[in-house]
Each structure stands twice: as C-alpha cells, then as structure tokens.
Structure 1
Amino acid sequence: PPANFSLTTSTLTANFTDSSSDSDGSIASRSWNFGDGSTSTATNPSHTYASAGTYTVSLTVTDDDGATNSTSKSVTVSSGGGSCTPSGTTLCNGSQVSGLSAAKGKWTSTYKLVVPAGASNLKFSIAGGTGDADMYVRLGSAPTTTSYNCRPYLSGNNETCTFAAPTAGTYYVRVRAYSAFSGVTLSTSFTP
C-alpha cells in the first residue's frame, strides 16, 4: 500500500493528514514518528513540538494483508506568530529595532506587532542609548500621551511593558522624547 500524507503548520503545531491507499483492500494500521521521539497511531494526528526547528516525520502503513510501506517528509515549525516577516515598522516575535532617536517632545515612528490568540507573556522594552525616552504601548491604534495601555514613565531609557495574558490583536508602540535621546533599542517578545 503506497504510504503518503500531507501536512500544515501553525507556529509549533503540525497537523498531518494521511492520504495512503490500498488498491486491493484497506489500511489496517498507521504508525507515525514525529522526529522528536514522539509517535502516534492516529489516522490524522496533530503534534506540537517543544521547540522550533526542522524535523523528519515518517509514516508507516500496514494493510489488511500485512504488507507495509513507509514514507518520510520534513516539517519545519517556528515559535513566531506564523509567517511574520519584520519590515519597516512591522515587528515580529523576538524583533529588535536599534538606533532609535528623537528630539525633545517628538515621537519615533509607530511600530506594530500582531499578537495571536492564546499568546502569553507579551513584553515590550526599551534600553540603552542616551537621553530620556518614554515608551507608550496601545492595543488597536497608535498611543498618544493621554491614551495608552502601558506607559512606565521612568527616568532614563530602561522601560518594560508586560502583558501576562494579552488580548489578541495589533499592538502599537512608539517612543517619545521626554528629553532628546538616541541609540535606544526597542525589543518585543511573547510566548505563542
């Protein structure tokens, strides 16, 4: 019986669909090996990997006559928010933007980060450089001096906004110069 399967991925989870066939009978059993030490005998299993990477997944099928056949495919999973690619002002999980600067009373560009449902431990932080920068974070639209979800408002440039159980959506972050600053790094991260 020719063994075959297809797969889709979403962050660290891979979903497998068995498409094996047997011309003179039926598939009696299946044995999946997910390449990380885990196995399954389900027809269309789903497997969540512990860490990002590329794994070799093998499927062995046995038909009602006892004949077997195997096939293998590579699956690549990532811990990021799917197929996010950082560009311009679009941030991804784990992004860093360095060299931020602004004159007193001015804002940096507005950066945005899409946070998926089920994410946790969302964190925005700024650090380094000189001057006094203030970070503002807001869900749904760009923050202002009077409308924001988080504004640490500390002296210096080391500030962090943490959301333990964030609402899914697009978060906007920008940095305002309490006094002129330069060389500041903005970092983002979350657990998918």
Structure 2
Amino acid sequence: MGVILTAKCAAQNTIGIPDIINYPRDVYNAGTQNRGVAQDCNGVMYFANYEGLLSFDGNYWRCYPVPSRTVVRSVAIGKDNRIYVGAQDDFGYFSPDRTGKLVFTSLKSLLAEKDYAFSDIWFVVPYGGDVFFLCREKIFQLSNKTITVYPAASEWLFLGESNSQLVAQDGKNGLLEFRNGLWSALYQLGNAAG
C-alpha cells in the first residue's frame, strides 16, 4: 500500500519587486573587488574598484583608472556633482571634460610636502560645503581649494555622517565629532548628580 503526502506551499509575491541582477567580473570588465558605491543625480552608479572608478548607467560599464593605475578604495558624490575618490597614496575627483569623458584631478598637489606620503584613503565624506578624506594616519579636509590636515592621535578607523554630525573614530580617543574646526569627544560625560 502506498502513501501519498501533500503539502501546501506558498511563494513570495514578486509583483512589483525589481529583479536582482548579479554582474560577474567578465561583464563589468574591471578589478575583482568593488569597495564603495555612490549614485549621482542622473541614476548613474559609481564603484570604487581595484582598477579605478567603475561606472554603470544601466546599460554600459566603464572603468576610469587613476593616473597611477592604483586601487580606488572609496567614492562619494559631492554637492558640486564631482565624483570624489580615495585611492592608494592619492585622492581627488572625476569630472567630465568637454567631450563628456570623466577625467581625474588629483588633490595631492594641494598638500604641504610633509603630508605628501600617506596610505590608502578608506573613506570620502562630503559634509557641508567641504569634502573629507580619511586614511589611517590623517584626515584631509578640502575646503574651497585648500586642504587642512588632521593627524590621528593613534590611528583613524572610521569617518561618516550621523544625525547631521561628522563623526570619526580614532583608535586612542574613540568617537569624535567635528566641531568648529576641531575633533572633539562625541559625548561629553558629565558628573552624575546624586
């Protein structure tokens, strides 16, 4: 005698949910790793890629290497619509030339000679009218056409915006907030009243 088992199954309703498309490396034709991602006001996606700045407009992939042909670690769109990137030992922005092709402008030349050597730029954060770049040793603040350098007390670990505050993490001093041109403790612990 045979037994027949039946089960009632339900599937997720996929109406209105966009397809998820996985693009393998041989389709986007660039480096193996993509670190950061940003989207401009036209919907174009930009990726910090091991071979440069990778862009995707929904149809075409393009890779724009930095002149040193090094890894791009971070990307952000500034209020000026420039595509700011952090790379190994360099940082700057991509903007279109008169033909529409993206061209890289390094900001490293704005640094004093003593600040010229640094490691990878892991975070790029537009904040107010400025753009901040973080590497382990320093945070660079681009304001107009000048750069202010903030050395780490031990090692910069994170940079981001939260609740309209620019926040960084230093390995020695913990979470810091950028206020009035200084990095100060994010939370001031007061004396508890008894």
Does TM-score exceed 0.5, indicating one fold? Answer: no
Q: Which has the higher strand share?
A: 1
TM-score (norm 1): 0.22
TM-score (norm 2): 0.22
Q: Which has the higher helix share?
A: 2
